[in-house]
Amino acid sequence: MSFMITGLPVDEFRPLFGLPEQDLAARGVFRHIATTPIGFPCRVTLEDAAIGQTLLLLNYEHQAADTPYRSRHAIYVSEAATQTRRAVNEIPGCLSARPHISLRAFDCAGMMTAAEIAPGAGLTLAIERMLADPQVSYIHAHNAGRGCFAARIDRN
């Protein structure tokens, strides 16, 4: 089954890029510098930021459906992001490099229908299995450890 993994829309974050620290702090946003090659995943590019690259750490509502599963969590966005990544039938680096990813399937009303944890390197089979259920409208991927939202997955 064909699927697409999509990063967050870069245009939502562009107004924050380059703002002074005090302006970011007033919005509850923090600037970080990537210090390791894995560990600073940009939710727009779906890749880990390179060492020395600046990212913004902010709270983001990734599940806006008016259900008990409505959800917000911390995410990183690279200030170098220029376009939103759309990966068709491939697992982006920020997912494949993780030991475990939590997949949460939702129906068209935003109600969770299934969930499972899969290794980053084995996500394709888990995604295809979940999307084979006609009740599933989309999937959210989260880092299993900290629970951070990673990406949205849809049928392609």
The pLDDT tens digits of the residues spanning 114-142 come to 999 999 999 999 999 999 999 999 999 99
**CA 123/CA 56 separation, integer angstroms:** 27
**Banded model confidence at residue 41, pLDDT cuts 50, 70, 90:** very high
Amino acid sitting at position 33:
I
Predicted pLDDT of residue 84: 97
Share of the chain above pLDDT 90, in %: 96
Quick one: tokens of 101? 């990813």
Range of the domain at 19: 3-155
| Residues 61-100: tens digit of each pLDDT | 999 999 999 999 999 999 999 999 999 999 999 999 999 9
Q: Dig out the tokens for 76 from the structure.
A: 């990183």
- Two tokens at 36? 């390791």
Q: Say how many domains are in the chain.
A: 1
Mean pLDDT score of the chain, rounded to an integer? 96
